[in-house]
Amino acid sequence: MRRLFLALLSLCLLPLGAAAQSPDRANTILVLDGSGSMWGQIDGINKIVIAREVIADLLADMPDDQSLGLTVYGHRQRGSCTDIETIVAPAPFTQDEILSAVNAINPRGRTPMTDAVVAAAQSLRHTEEPATVILVSDGIENCNPDPCAMAAELEAAGIGFTAHVIGFDVASEPEARAQMQCIADNTGGLFLTADNAAELSAALQQVTMAPPAAPAVTATPLRIEARLTPSGAVPTRAIGWTLLSGSGEVLDTGAQGPAITAELMPGDYIARATRAEEDGPVTYQTAFAVTQGMPGPVVVAMPEIVEAVPVTFTARVEPDMTVPASPLVWSLFDATGQQLLGPVEAPGGNVALLPGDYRLSVTRVTQETTHEATFAVAANTPQEVVVPLPVLLVDVTLSARIGGASGPAITDPVLWEIEGRDAALDTTNPVTLGLSRGAYRVTAYWTAQEIEESVDFVIVDQPREVAVIFPEPQPRATITAPASAVAGSTVEVGWTGPDNRGDYIGIGRADGEGSGWVTYAETDSGTPVTLLMPIEAGDYLIRYFLRDGRTPIASAPITVTPVAASITAPESAVAGSTIEVGWTGPDYQGDYIGIGRADGQGSGWENYANTRDGTPLQLLVPETPGDYLISYYARQDRTRITAVPITVTPVAASITAPDSAVAGSTIEVGWTGPDYQGDYIGIGRADGQGSAWENYVDTREGSPVQLRVPETPGDYLIQYFLRQDRTAIASVPVTVTAAEATVTAPGTAIAGQVVEVAWTGPDYEGDYIGIGRSDGQGSAWANYAYTRDGTPAQLTVPPEPGDYLVQYFMAQDRTPIASTRIVVSSAAASLTAPAGAVAGDTIEIGWTGPNYDGDYIGIGRADGQGSAWANYAYTRDGSPVQLLMPPEGGAYVIRYFIAQDRTPIAEVPITLSPVEASLTAPATAQAGTTIEVGWTGPDYAGDYIGIGRADGQGSGWTAYVYTRDGNPARLVLPDTSGAYVLRYFVAQDRTPVAEVPITLLQ
């Protein structure tokens, strides 16, 4: 509800000159300016002197019991904003003390008049009782930035706080007057100015004689509440309120709740309370008069309503009062036995009942037992009714199974134990017993396997089966093996076990975990198996592993002893040479002798030879000089068994070659060197890296060798390369100079024409004259002719017009070294052909054109692309040519094709009309017999009449006869009965052009 506040403001100032201190008279404190500016003079007299005399006259006229105090600022310290002192606390009979203090003031400081007023207000306890401050100041506030805000805060906090302000000698200070005016206005006080002693005296008399405030008329807070009769209880239904004046004016409306609070001025009022009832809202009201300070509450009476009370009902199983698992069926009856609810199946329910006695019935569906409870409903008292249900014994079947809940039951005796239950159970499996609701643990002991398993389960209200799951019994196995063996050797291991697919015998470290093994052999090879021993000595276990899960089920220990080996080799060897290395050792399959850097790690080697090659063996020495080790490696894990050191010394070589050579030429290169197998002399760029070369020749061809020079001019190196690692061990520089050539060809030619091209050049093997687009790149060419065929060369011009280059190409890297430009113009051709023809017919085509070797006249679909054609005839056969038309009708194009790139240079359109044909045959015939088939059609060479299944596709046929054999044709029918089709096929593409159905009978 919107609270109602009606208030009357009043001024609570009392005159200081009253004959006696009234109990409600405001305490007063004088705030005097003691700042340095008070030494200023008016009419030759200091302002502080004037103030002393005026205050002395004022105090003399005051009654002795006036509660009065004195606060002074700026009188003790220079430049301080905190120099504020309440010298005399407010009290009666203080006039003499105040006068003495005023006469002792020695002005010297600043003007913190705002904080001085605050200090005076605090001395007056302005928040607890009415208070008045009289401020006398001669200047602007120069400490607190906002006197107005301070005054407003004091007014808001005080019960009746008033500040009167007298501006003494401030006529020339408008800002100071504005501050003083604001302090007075914000606290309800007077602001007066005085420019001399007389005006100061008059101003003080005026503020001290201000009339007292009229008695305040205040609003009275009242509680207005709704009550039920005759009980006096608070209504529970929603109440809406409307407050009216005695004359019926609505003062407030819309508040909700059983009671409201309003602050009302004295007068007559009406309170209306509207309650939601069964037939709609009903309004009740009370008229009342308010006097100031009257106590409440004001009561609006309304009759009681009998309410339905919410009742919740459930069932619980004793003694733990747990929720029953069985479905429940409920019925509710009143005191007369009349059924109010049910039967209804539910775990419980909620109903609204009038006060009275009731009976509740619940049936446990699974157990078919019924239980009842009676209860009373009191008004306005919601309740929960709990029907206790007795605990039940539930049949529980315990079963022990293998592998899972659906696995086979154990047929051996099983010992059962239920934790916390002393009674012994049968050793049968399964076993059934009665258990009450609760949590249990059952343990089953499989006597035959001597193992046990436990399961936790709970019982509610329904029978259940509890399965105790045992793992599949572990298969049994044995291992028979020697107590020791040499590392890397092979031993026989006997075994027994399940021999499942994928089972294996493995050997691994004795301190290894689980399925860890080093080598293994599968059991499917029988017993005993041959097992490879680890190459490292130590204690091991040989185990039988099941493939499923790699589970070991049997083991036997074995000690692996170290294997011995030795190496005999020279202390040094030339880089890249082959040396003999003698050795002793186990010579296991795959063992090898390797050579590698002395500072290399583990099995690192550069060259090796297998021990299966015998002793001594031939070992290739690395090409890089340095310190090496020759080691005996066991193939298993590439384990080094023994090693000897060897020093590899550098190998010498030399090269003799000309200082320069023409690009692409072949030069003689003399050399000396080791001539190891695969060594070669190579030539490569002088700025190339490592083994980079462009041409090479093997040293096995002797000295000197014939070396081909690269085609690109520049600085090169000729080097002796060791085949092993392609290491260069000697080199000489050579400068390659450019090769010279010229080509002479006609400036123009017709597309496809053969032209003569004269040339000069080195004529290296494979050099050729090529023609290609002038905007082509590098070695790009369309046609070419070898220089070995002499000069001039016969060069075929490309079939497409345009700008071309004729170039001399060196075969090596296809480098062009000379060129000339040639313009190729289009080749002209024409065709003469009929506008139409019958599909499959042969017609004459007249033509003109270049008749280059391989040129042809072709026919293809009008919507075909480029060189697409169906049939063709060569132009070498003369003009006109005989051209076979395609077997299908439609729009076609006849084209003249240049054989080179199959480029069409002329074309004419032609329309082919479909071939017309017909067949005459019986509708049915006996399978395997011969029938006559009459026909009409083109009778092109190779045309035939065929028979095939009706559901066959295209040219499919079973038997046929050529049309050249006469009309009617005699056709031998298939031996199998069924639905067939007779078709006339044009031989070209086996195209069917007519058909009739025929059914063959058996």
pLDDT above 80 (res 598):
yes
| pLDDT at residue 674 greater than cutoff 70 | yes
CATH number of 309-389: 2.60.40.10
**CA angle, 269 then 275 then 281, to 5°:** 110
Of the two residues 333 and 12, the one the predictor is more confident about is 333
* pLDDT tier, 159 (very low <50, low <70, confident <90, very high otherwise): low
Please give the structure tokens belonging to residue 39.
């030494």
Distances in whole angstroms, Cα of residue 822 to Cα of each of 260, 336, 550, 743, 828: 115, 127, 80, 11, 19
- How far, in Å, are 50, 115, 187, 352 from residue 133 at the CA level? 20, 13, 10, 69
Q: What's the rounded mean pLDDT across residues 335-346?
A: 89
Looking at CATH, the fold of the domain delimited by 566-649 is given as: Immunoglobulin-like (2.60.40)
Q: Mind listing the pLDDT tens digit for each residue in 854-895? A: 899 999 998 876 556 889 999 999 999 999 999 888 999 999
What stretches of 172-242 show up as alpha helix (H) in DSSP? 174-187, 197-208
What band does 593 get if pLDDT is binned at 50, 70 and 90? very high
Q: Out of 242-256, 396-410, 505-519, pick the least confident.
A: 505-519
The SS3 assignment for 559 reads strand
Residue 988 and residue 10: Cα distance in Å, rounded?
A: 128
Q: Where are the domains of the chain?
A: 27-208, 220-303, 309-389, 393-470, 478-561, 566-649, 654-737, 746-825, 830-913, 918-1001
CB 34 within 8 A of CB 138: no
Q: The pTM is what?
A: 0.38
Task: Give CATH for domain 478-561.
Answer: 2.60.40.10
Query: In 3D, which of 697, 687, 708, 683 has the Cα closest to residue 810?
Result: 708
Residue with tokens 């042809």: 856
Bridge partners of 882? 844
At 215, the pLDDT band (50, 70, 90 cuts) reads very low
CB-CB contact of 102 with 45 (8 Å): no
- From 417, 466, 422, select the one nearest 444 (Cα to Cα): 417
What's the mean pLDDT in 135-145? 77
Cα separation, 708 vs 689, in Å, equals 20
pLDDT of amino acid 43: 84
Can you tell me the mean pLDDT for 293-303? 89
Least confident residue range of 13-22, 609-618, 693-702, 847-856: 13-22
Instruction: Give the mean pLDDT of 308-332.
Output: 86
The one-letter amino acid at 853: D
- Domains 27-208 and 566-649 alike in fold: no
Torsion, Cα of 490, 495, 497, 499 (10° steps): 40
Mean model confidence pLDDT for the chain = 86
Q: Which CATH number fits domain 393-470: 2.60.40.2070, 2.60.40.1120, 2.160.10.10, 3.40.50.300?
A: 2.60.40.2070
* 2-6 own/partner pairs: CB under 8 Å, 24+ apart: 2/252, 2/254, 2/255, 3/261, 3/262, 3/263, 4/219, 4/243, 4/251, 4/252, 4/262, 4/263, 4/264, 5/219, 5/263, 6/219, 6/263, 6/264, 6/265
**Which 3-state string (H, E, C) describes 683-744?**
EEECCCCCCCCCEEEEHHHCCCEEEECCCCCEEEEEEEEECHHHEEEEEEEEEEECCCCEEE
Instruction: Please tell me the least confidently modeled range out of 21-35, 53-67, 354-368.
Output: 21-35
Q: What are 707-744's pLDDT values in tens digits? A: 999 888 999 999 999 888 788 889 999 999 988 999 99
Provide the CA 337 distance to its chain's centre, in angstroms: 67
Question: Where do the DSSP E strands lie in 328-463?
Answer: 328-334, 339-345, 348-353, 356-364, 369-377, 383-389, 393-402, 414-418, 431-436, 438-446, 451-459
CATH of domain 654-737: 2.60.40.1930
Q: How far apart are CA 130 and CA 126, in angstroms?
A: 6
Question: Tell me: the pLDDT tens digits for 925-960?
Answer: 999 999 999 999 998 988 999 999 988 765 567 899
H or E, element range at 961: strand 959-962
Its CATH architecture, for the domain 830-913, is Sandwich (2.60)
| Fold entry, domain 220-303 | Immunoglobulin-like (2.60.40)
Amino acid at 978: G
- Of all residues in the chain, what percent carry a pLDDT higher than 90? 44
* Average pLDDT of span 196-223: 73
Mean pLDDT on 980-987:
92
Q: Which fold has domain 27-208?
A: Rossmann fold (3.40.50)
The confidence score (pLDDT) of residue 212 equals 46
Token pair for 923 = 């509708």
pLDDT tens digits, one per residue of 487-510:
989 999 999 988 999 999 999 998
Tell me, letter by letter, the H, E, C secondary structure of 254-265: EEECCEEEEEEC
User: 16 falls in which pLDDT band (50, 70, 90)?
Assistant: very low
CATH placement of domain 746-825: 2.60.40
Task: Name the residue among 349, 341, 389, 384 with its Cα closest to residue 365.
Answer: 389
Please tell me the predicted confidence (pLDDT) of residue 17.
32
Query: In whole angstroms, what is the distance from residue 630 CA to residue 594 CA?
Result: 6
Phi, psi for 722 (deg, rounded to 5): -75, 135
Average pLDDT over residues 513-538: 87
Please tell me the least confidently modeled range out of 161-175, 625-639, 845-859, 925-939: 161-175
Q: Residue 2: what pLDDT?
A: 29
* pLDDT at site 4: 26
Distance separating alpha carbons of residues 169 and 50, to the nearest angstrom:
11
Give the CATH superfamily of 918-1001.
Answer: Immunoglobulins (2.60.40.10)
Place of tokens 């509800």: 1
Query: In this predicted structure, what is the pLDDT of residue 100?
Result: 87
